[in-house]
Amino acid sequence: MTTVLGHNQYGKAETRVVRITRDGDTHHVRDLNVSVALSGDLDDVHYHGDNTKVLTTDTTKNTVYAFAQDGGIASPEEFALRLARHFTGSQPAITSARIRIEEYGWSRTGETGHSFVRDGGEIRTAQIRLDGAGCEVVAGLRGLVVLNSTGSEFRGFVKDPWTTLPESRDRVLATEVEARWRYGRHDGDGEPDWDAVHRRSRAALLDAFADTYSYSLQQTLYAMGSRVVDAGPEVDEIRLSMPNKHHFLVDLAPFGVANPTDTGAVYFAADRPYGLIEGTVLRDGAPARLPTD
């Protein structure tokens, strides 16, 4: 044999499940996209086509639906933990489970208690990894688009022969935040209130973006990450990926039209290329475990 099997995992990806809970006339919606990835003692299926230890991907999909009905979906993190514990606890061959969940938010509209409007582009995320070493929970969001129309400068940077960017003392700062935060390790007792920590972390990101006078997007990123870690004891590490959504002043001089930033200006919102600013903020002494690529 010239090859050996390396890391492998399998499961049903992107099971879309919507759980509606009826509390009298007031209904609640949880709308998830669930991806299951299992691994363990699975050499035989890869080397010999022996399916004896294979819990089918079809079964993992059915389990997602059945668990959503029986027990409901308290939060993406709780649901993912319940699934991971089930797969590793019921199948001797399965020693590790990674459950990834995206949640699409719905807000109430009208007076009915059963009418909803889908939230904009923002997506809540959660990932559980459960194996012999314990359980790691990474949660976050993406698609959170924010803009400061002042309170942002960018100057004092390196000038080499290829630098053309003018210094700015008053620019638009806009980004689309992708955040992943890692909870401290725990083995099931005293689990955090996942929804509450998510709300608090999102609010911390927005507050820090709004009230940091920015000298660079890097500085704003660090302020946002620190605010999330400092907001409570649960989150040890956060990684932020923030594209600089450049707003360039349009040159209206050829038309004899002024474009002054102090009274109101017209910008070109460029979509690419964009600066991509990424960084991790850690609780002092916490290990860096979030992937950096």
Which residues fall in the annotated binding site for 5-hydroxyisourate? 57, 154, 171, 218, 244
The amino acid present at 112, given as its one-letter code, is: T
Pull the structure tokens for residue 286. 């916490």
Question: CB-wise, 65 or 213, nearer to ligand URC?
Answer: 213
- 63 given a catalytic annotation: no
Which residue out of 60, 246, 247, 280 is catalytically annotated?
246
Q: What is the DSSP string of 222-249?
A: HHHHHHHHHT-SSEEEEEEEEEE--EEE
Question: CB-wise, 196 or 269, nearer to ligand URC?
Answer: 269
Q: For residues 125 and 178, what is the distance between their CA atoms, to the nearest angstrom?
A: 10
- 27 given a catalytic annotation: no
Q: For residues 293 and 88, what is the distance between their CA atoms, to the nearest angstrom?
A: 28
Binding segment for ligand URC among 51-59, 85-93, 106-114, 215-223 (CB under 6 A)? 215-223
Is position 1 an interface residue for ligand URC (rule: CB under 6 A)? Answer: no
> Which of helix, strand or coil describes residue 195?
helix
Q: For residues 140 and 277, what is the distance between their CA atoms, to the nearest angstrom?
A: 17
Question: CB-wise, 156 or 264, nearer to ligand URC?
Answer: 156
CA 206 to chain centre: 15
CB-based closest residue to ligand URC: 217
Taking CB under 6 A as the criterion, the residue among 216, 242, 280, 282 binding ligand URC is 216
Q: How far is CA 132 from CA 40, 88, 94, 135, 291, in A?
A: 11, 10, 11, 8, 20
CA 128 to chain centre: 13
Which one, of 51, 46, 55, lies nearest residue 88 by Cα? 55
Rounded to a whole number of angstroms, the minimum distance from the CB of residue 182 to ligand URC is: 25
Rounded to a whole number of angstroms, the minimum distance from the CB of residue 224 to ligand URC is: 13
Is position 154 an interface residue for ligand URC (rule: CB under 6 A)? Answer: yes
Question: CB-wise, 227 or 247, nearer to ligand URC?
Answer: 247
Question: CB-wise, 165 or 253, nearer to ligand URC?
Answer: 165
- 246 given a catalytic annotation: yes
Please tell me the number of Cα atoms within 13 Å of 75 on its side-chain side. Answer: 20
Is position 165 an interface residue for ligand URC (rule: CB under 6 A)? Answer: yes
Which residue out of 27, 53, 57, 59 is catalytically annotated?
57
Question: CB-wise, 7 or 272, nearer to ligand URC?
Answer: 272
Q: For residues 250 and 109, what is the distance between their CA atoms, to the nearest angstrom?
A: 39
Contacts to ligand URC from residues 268-287, by CB under 6 A = 275
Rounded to a whole number of angstroms, the minimum distance from the CB of residue 223 to ligand URC is: 13
Is position 217 an interface residue for ligand URC (rule: CB under 6 A)? Answer: yes
Burial class (CB in 10 A: 0-12, 13-18, 19+), 123: middle
> Which of helix, strand or coil describes residue 290?
coil
Binding site as annotated, residues: 57-58, 154, 171, 218, 244
Is position 138 an interface residue for ligand URC (rule: CB under 6 A)? Answer: no
Rounded to a whole number of angstroms, the minimum distance from the CB of residue 279 to ligand URC is: 12
Binding segment for ligand URC among 195-203, 212-220, 225-233, 259-267 (CB under 6 A)? 212-220
Q: For residues 238 and 23, what is the distance between their CA atoms, to the nearest angstrom?
A: 36
What are the catalytic residues? 12, 57, 246
Residues that bind ligand URC (CB under 6 A): 154, 165, 216-218, 244, 275
